[in-house]
């Protein structure tokens, strides 16, 4: 006798079919996160709190979109790493350049005496 798994999406010649409920839940979460993002402006948060909240909501929305609508949640780990690691590496290198730029500016001001 063959065992069937009720929790596994049915395999078809075109690929897996995921329940529509997953997509509707993600659409709901995207709507809620967008609402929170707009509320940051509505309540006029300023400074670091504003940008932290905006970037947090943006990152959460991007993660949901990549995981569900780009089907990364169901891909093999190697493919997920091949797609997700390069943007992370770019962000790390951009952060290193930002740190280096502050150091370079400090060195110029200290030893060359340039104003500004």
**CA atoms of 88 and 20, how far apart (whole Å):** 30
Residue 16 above 80 pLDDT?
A: no
78-100 mean pLDDT: 91
Handedness of CA 77, 80, 86, 90 (dihedral sign): negative
Percent of the chain residues topping a pLDDT of 90: 55
């Amino acid at each position: 006798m063959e065992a069937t798994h009720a929790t596994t999406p049915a395999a078809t010649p075109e690929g897996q079919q995921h329940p529509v409920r997953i997509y509707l839940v993600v659409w709901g979460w995207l709507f809620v996160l967008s609402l929170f993002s707009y509320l940051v402006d509505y309540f006029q948060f300023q400074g670091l709190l504003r940008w932290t909240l905006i970037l947090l909501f943006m990152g959460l929305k991007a993660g949901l979109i990549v995981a569900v609508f780009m089907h990364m949640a169901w891909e093999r780990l190697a493919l997920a790493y091949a797609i997700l690691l390069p943007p992370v590496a770019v962000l790390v290198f951009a952060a290193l350049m930002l740190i280096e730029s502050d150091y370079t500016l400090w060195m110029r001001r200290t030893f060359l005496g340039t104003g500004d």
